[in-house]
Structure 1
């Protein structure tokens, strides 16, 4: 007899985990729950989530409740008689009425080593804070925000070359592999869940606009971490001649490279083969890819060839 599973997820991060469920002969994915279609791009084209697109390719039933806690949404899930609910970056907190439905409980694949980075932006904060390692935790879901007992974990190193985009892919794959390893233990009753220590909890709320702006008075490494944490979405930025200038990539700061004494942080010091050097609070940050307002992303070399961002320019 197969285990009836409802899968809940929204972005690309969740798709490999859905695949793992579909590959398990003991599991029947009776429905996929994802966020409603949203307008995307300048033309605001109504677009399905990556999980919906994949579920439809697989011929699965798709549900897209605007609010999962509404009685009609709960009843639709109850009618499916799930044995287990698996979530991965779904985007809504499950109410108690849903948590109580499946006999094996509800589990979540979370992109951090809990209790560190509870919340919606764990990958962003791991990079912004310069962590050397992060990972994935599979936990039972509770009414709080990522507060449930932990079932399994896997660590994933963060390399200097990593960005939000590359870590998203690494953690997505790690989460799917961890799910594959955890499911047999969970379904057999062998899984040993461990409570989280709330005293060690660190939260990672969704990124706000003010967090995206580079503060040139801060240390170089902090701005470097911010740039890679926000690449590819939503992108770190600074101001140039009153317009937003997106900064997509920088060289890792050299601690030995200092800005001239008395130079205002944000001042362009030079523009050459090693990018656009900008003074920071403790040294120099070299920009190698950026995007002026109204233009496509380009290398620093391309912008330099246009005779722009000359030394002495102050970014804000």
Structure 2
């Protein structure tokens, strides 16, 4: 056994970067980093590299960007590296069995939920939307299913009343990096063994679309608050004021507020407030973004765009 395992790392977005850097800092051999191709970005639609590519090149690692991981030439390239592990963190393509079978010690995935809950591409947001007070990260051995492989290690963390999907993303990515290093060490030393996922309790967290961020004011204030935080930063919670789209950055429930208005109606409050009627109470919008694209505190927004009580948000 060599002093350190040989690892091919596969990942793409910001979430993957702490895991890559943690493996590098732990001294593991990383002969190849695989990420998605550069994509058009911004108003100019110029090609931009994925965060993992930038991080890998920043520490001198070789990078490959296959259009598809099912390409036979790419699979042969991985075979030639002869890795002990594939480590896959939010890569963005489904890996074929031919690729999963290459590493001598297995393909290890870091997933941002406490499996078997919230398998799929959007576990952070769906855990929040569904009212979970706890989530976490799981390392697992990959199989051909969607997040169905045997569990290696898990760590949990609370979802706090101020957390957004963005804050949870950051926390879980760093938790995952530490758990990954512990996982690789345990597997390499022969002290960590996989266990099958429980047969019951599995849930799925489907991909979110841009339109999924539309706020339903018929919900209870607490659930609307959680929904807005779960949609931050993407796809972003939004509603319409007439034909104008408003992005709601932050809001909070207003306890003890009663009204007789239809959900979505602006109800009276202080001049610099935006109180919105819900099914059983109200929420206070504290930050929003209009057509200008600039995030504003509600008081600043209302100075330029007053919204009278009785106006309906949809």
- Which bracket does the TM-score occupy, shorter chain normalised? over 0.9
> What is the aligned partner in structure 2 of residue 302 from structure 1?
300
Q: Which stretch shows the higher mean deviation, 187-196 or 92-101?
A: 187-196
4+ runs of 1 displaced by more than 6 Å? none
Please give the root-mean-square deviation of Cα atoms over the aligned residues, in Å.
Answer: 1.4
Aligned-partner SS, 2:125: helix
Alignment correspondent of 1:264 = 262
Aligned-partner Cα distance in 1 for 2:270–2:131: 27
**1:166 alignment counterpart:** 167
Structure 1 position 208, deviation (Å)? 2.1
Partner of 2:180: 179
The corresponding residue for 1:11 is 13
Aligned-pair CA distance for 1:120: 0.5
Matched with 1:230 is: 231
Q: Distance in 1 between matches of 2:236 and 2:267?
A: 23
- The TM-score normalised by the length of structure 2 is 0.96
CA distance in 1, matches of 2:268, 2:53: 48
Equivalent position of 1:83 in the other structure = 84
- Paired residue secondary structure (1:250): strand
**CA–CA distance in structure 2, aligned partners of residues 161 and 273 of structure 1:** 25
Q: How many angstroms does 1:9 deviate by?
A: 0.8
Superposed, which structure 2 residues align to 1:88-99 within 5 Å?
88-99=89-100
**What are the ranges of 5 or more consecutive residues in structure 1 without an aligned counterpart?**
none
Note the C-alpha offset of 1:164.
Answer: 0.9
Report the more deviating stretch, 206-215 or 272-281.
272-281
What is the CA distance between 1:44 and its match in structure 2? 1.2
Alpha-carbon offset, residue 78 of structure 1: 1.3
- The number of residues matched between the two structures is 312
1:63 is aligned to: 64
2:22 to 12, 20, 40: 20
| Bigger mean CA offset, 105-114 vs 6-15 | 6-15
Q: Is the 8 A contact 1:34 1:51 kept in 2?
A: yes
Cα drift, residue 6 of structure 1: 0.3
* CA separation of 1:273 and 1:177: change in aligned 2, threshold 3 A: farther
**Per-residue deviation, 1:199:** 2.8
CA distances 1:34-79 after superposition (whole Å, capped 9, x unpaired): 1111111122121111110000111111111111112122112112
CA distance in 1, matches of 2:65, 2:31: 14
Matched, 1:290 2:288: yes
Q: What is the distance in 2 between the residues matched to 1:118 and 1:100? A: 22
Q: CA deviation at 1:309?
A: 1.6
**What is the TM-score when the length of structure 1 is the normalising length?**
0.95
Matches within 5 A, 1:98-117: 98-117=99-118
What displacement does 1:296 show?
Answer: 0.9
Q: CA deviation at 1:295?
A: 3.1
SS in 2 for 1:180: helix
Contact 2:212 2:235 in 1 (8 A): no
**Structure 1 residue 299: Cα displacement:** 0.8
Contact 1:15 1:51 (C-alpha < 8 Å) held by counterparts: yes
The CA deviation string for residues 206-264 of structure 1, in whole angstroms up to 9 with x for no partner, is 1123321001112222221111111112211101121211001001x144222x12x11
- Asked if structure 2 preserves the Cα contact closer than 8 Å seen for 1:271 and 1:310, the reply is no
Query: Secondary structure, in 3 states, of the residue corresponding to 2:166?
Result: helix
Unaligned 5+ residue runs, structure 2? none
